[in-house]
């Protein structure tokens, strides 16, 4: 497969990366996580950590447990075993609302946007957690609520500028090509101003040009906002180029963990990939 071939398509995107990034201490520590659905063991005794400011990739064949792991991180699934330590605190029973409140945002493998709503309104939905005024105050459009609404709009517009989607800000999302919808979904996640951004296959189904754009935005988010990124991606060229460290899952087990170079030469990883290669 592509594992051994260096890929230069993303050099342009990488040129943006100033090289001044500082990887910090561990902020998310997943310890011995096991998760099953009835008889299906989706994750078996998996441990790995994520350091502040890094781009951490999760790779593995279909059904390996990658999306399940993201769902554990953001509190959608509760593992039967294991510990999650986020910013030094044990998180045994965290629901996804609490996870989002504490700074964990995500995008989904299948786009989850309001198709009939405009780009701007979709991005505004990402601000919900940040809104203090209640529904009644907003309905009455009352003093503080009104000021708050304006602040949130300013933030949403900043994100729109950052993602270079000004021209489509009033377009209903359902009318946009797939690559742009993925970019809007990234915008909605960014609107929550997350500390950790979880991206589930942000480039799946994109052409090379769309992938290059998405790579550049991911690197810029990481660099300019200092956001820590956990990324599931199938394109090995992208993974090897943009991630600091890679964890490899196969049938719910961890079979590799390290820098892109370490993972690329790991025999277990090569075997797992050769097993599913065409
Ligand atoms: N909600 C669920 N209910 C039952 N089984 C599930 C559920 N989510 C995932 N699984 C199973 O867990 C395994 C891992 O799935 P998933 O995490 O989606 O893998 P990946 O994202 O690596 O393709 C698969 O066998 C899948 O069928
Ligand atoms: Mg998946």
Q: Which of 134, 168, 192 is the last residue of a domain?
A: 192
Give me the residues of the chain with pLDDT under 70, please.
Answer: 1-20, 132-145, 274-278
In this predicted structure, what is the pLDDT of residue 16?
Answer: 44
Same domain? For 99 and 10 the reply is: yes
SS3 string, the chain, reads CHHHCCCCCCHHHHHCCCCCCCCCCEEEEEEEEEEEECCEEEEEEEEEEEECCCEEEEECCCCCCHHHHHHHHCCCCCCCEEEEEECCEECCCCCHHHHHHCCEEEECCCCCCCCCCEHHHHHHHCCHHHCCCCHHHHHHCCHHHHHHHHHHHHHHHHHHHHCCCHHHCCCEHHHCCHHHHHHHHHHHHHHCCCCEEEEECCCCCCCHHHHHHHHHHHHHHHHHHCCEEEEECCCHHHHHHHCCEEEEEECCEEEEEECHHHHHCCHHHHHHHHHHCC
Among the candidates 173, 192, 211, a domain finishes at 192
Residue 168 covered by a domain: yes
- How confident is the model at residue 2, as a pLDDT? 44
Residues 65 and 200 in one domain: yes
Say what the pLDDT of residue 61 is: 92
Domain stops at, among 126, 158, 192: 192
38 and 174 fall within a common domain: no
Supply the pLDDT for residue 9: 46
Nearest ligand, CA of residue 44?
1
Q: Tell me, what's the pLDDT at 136?
A: 55
Residue with the nearest Cα to atom 4 of ligand 1?
Answer: 37
Ligand that comes closest to the CA of residue 59: 1
Number of domains in the chain: 2
Range of the domain at 70: 2-103+194-276
In this structure, is residue 108 part of a structural domain? no
Q: For a pocket test of ligand 1, which of 35, 39, 62, 65 has the largest count of ligand atoms closer than 8 A to its C-beta?
A: 65
Lining ligand 1 with CB less than 6 A are: 37, 40, 42, 60, 62-68
């Amino acid at each position: 497969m592509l594992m051994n071939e260096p890929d230069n398509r993303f050099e342009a995107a990488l040129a943006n990366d100033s090289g001044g990034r500082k990887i910090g201490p561990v902020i998310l520590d997943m310890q011995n996580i096991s998760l099953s659905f009835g008889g299906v063991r989706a994750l078996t005794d998996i441990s790995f950590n994520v350091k502040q400011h890094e781009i951490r990739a999760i790779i593995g064949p279909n059904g390996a447990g990658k999306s399940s792991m993201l769902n554990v991180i953001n509190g959608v699934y509760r593992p039967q075993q294991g510990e999650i330590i986020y910013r030094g605190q044990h998180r045994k029973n965290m629901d996804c609302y609490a996870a989002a409140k504490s700074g964990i945002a995500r995008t989904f493998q299948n786009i989850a946007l309001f198709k009939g709503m405009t780009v701007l309104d979709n991005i505004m939905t990402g601000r919900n957690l940040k809104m203090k005024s209640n529904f009644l105050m907003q309905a009455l459009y009352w003093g503080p609520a009104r000021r708050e609404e304006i602040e949130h709009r300013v933030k949403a517009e900043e994100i729109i500028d950052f993602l270079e989607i000004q021209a489509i800000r009033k377009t209903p999302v359902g009318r946009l090509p797939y690559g742009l919808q993925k970019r809007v979904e990234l915008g909605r996640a960014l609107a929550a101003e997350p500390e950790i951004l979880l991206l589930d296959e942000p480039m799946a189904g994109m052409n090379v040009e769309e992938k290059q754009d998405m790579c550049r935005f991911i690197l810029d988010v990481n660099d300019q906002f200092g956001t820590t990124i956990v990324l599931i991606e199938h394109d090995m060229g992208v993974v090897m180029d943009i991630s600091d460290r890679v964890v490899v899952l196969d049938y719910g087990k961890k079979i590799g963990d390290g820098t892109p170079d370490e993972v690329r030469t790991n025999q277990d990883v090569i075997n797992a990939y050769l097993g599913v290669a065409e």
